[in-house]
Structure 1
């Protein structure tokens, strides 16, 4: 006898929710298509791996893996607060920054509350609010990939409960300037929490004019949180360490009330601390990624493809075929990318910046995939 379907027991918002597209693993693609060389370029992972110091730190910590981790992430908290020039009480930690996004939505959003974001957007910026019954107002990016500042300000005229977006943008790759950020901050009131997702912060720092967001926000009277992660530039995606800098200890306290007590495990904490201390490895990986990003951008442009200039470790480009179709075609060549499925962006694709060999594999596969079929 088959068990009864539990779907009717779930909340309506969950029943109607679209599943987050986490992408395919290399193992899945290898098995399905029988290819041995995989270029996994769909999840914005760092192809150069973590600092060698990370492995040593994890090995040393293994003896204590039977003990619960430090719930306060004390050592990592102290190191980050000193580096960033904030108080330790302004730090919060999560099992990846998306853990903090989920917590923030549960703390601040209720059924019918309004959230303002941008589109195209990181999927969890809309998925979590929808799951709670919040109303999502998404402001489209401009045709050139820039932020629609006037549109965002108009959306804030009736203050929403939350304003949440990423800058640099995921998936577009563009970022706010200091003056644009100031315009948005001037439009905020204490009725709105600003969630500024800066997951690609380290990559963007190399770009002239990228704003010092924490310094600008330090003068802000309305509540805010800046989200960052060790998943990207520090190459710890598999260990899940995210953190946030908040406007006040009171905001940190609200987040901690719904945070699971041990949401950052012991090995992840020591790994993040070791990665933070190896500045040379970080900078070498950033430089290599930026060189490859510019090479890839030029190659796509020379192919006649519309690609948005990026401050991140990925590129967002448009072709004349649906991205889901292009994604399937590329899989046969062992190349994994991220097809974008939001309305109005279904011919756009996001590709991560991989190693030189992975990028060459992608370019060759893309060229074959876009080439018109030969007529016999």
Structure 2
């Protein structure tokens, strides 16, 4: 890898930028992941040149050969993060070096090129600076999607010798339907997301591809998301399709499934754990069986349940459906603890609440 010469991104602005009035109209209430900014940041790697050709350019399609390795062997990873506009107009990121660290871990698991954390963050910053007009104010944000894929043209089961790293961005509003304070989930007893020794802890596209059939099943049951159980016993709660889960118990403590290698180590999850502990809340990272969840919801031992992740941030779970029936959590709405955690975390992210741990990374 070429680490001797610092990597700088060369900016080539789009010759047909979106007019300002169209941008303002696009970011008022955008559908999640449908409207994209004018530019993208790209960087290439080969086993002979290391990382090179760093640039920010007009967003455009990639040209790849039909034998491109990613199409056949699924060497691909990605991250999800957001840029926020503060009340004073400043633009900031939330814990971007944690995303960079997780990206490196995903790359290692998928036998892909190692991207230094500072280069990852520099690429994100370079794109946001160019497309800063696309960062919404208010409750909106600019969702950032850094990703990397194997770009070598060959057929053969081995790690690629060439990769493309890219960052794209889209203005977003709420992940779930407007006005919904709690979601309904489907507990899958047939499909699993990941198995021990697999890629569950890596943020790779294959994990999400494997979850789509269960998500389709959940939608058919009138649910917003799917909850996965462990692959070995189909007993232990792991995570939702793209979010980690927390359970608020009647003694005020939080319970969340442990990171055992099959669960994605969410940055939002880690942040909630740290904030909760600072407030004196006991957080137990321990296995939790679905049967126990159902019984505890009925007895009132489980008071609230919420999911967390970059896209949805903190979202209450109000209704749980499964093959044998359904049950509610509390009154089926967002609970007080969930609301307090959501308000505190989003407040830090948007610069409205004090940031005691230095998580906010200001770009400009």
Shorter-normalised TM-score: what interval? under 0.3
- TM-score, L = length of structure 1: 0.23
Q: Kindly indicate whether structure 1 or structure 2 has the higher relative contact order, using CA contacts under 8 Å at least 6 residues apart.
A: 1
- TM-score, L = length of structure 2: 0.23
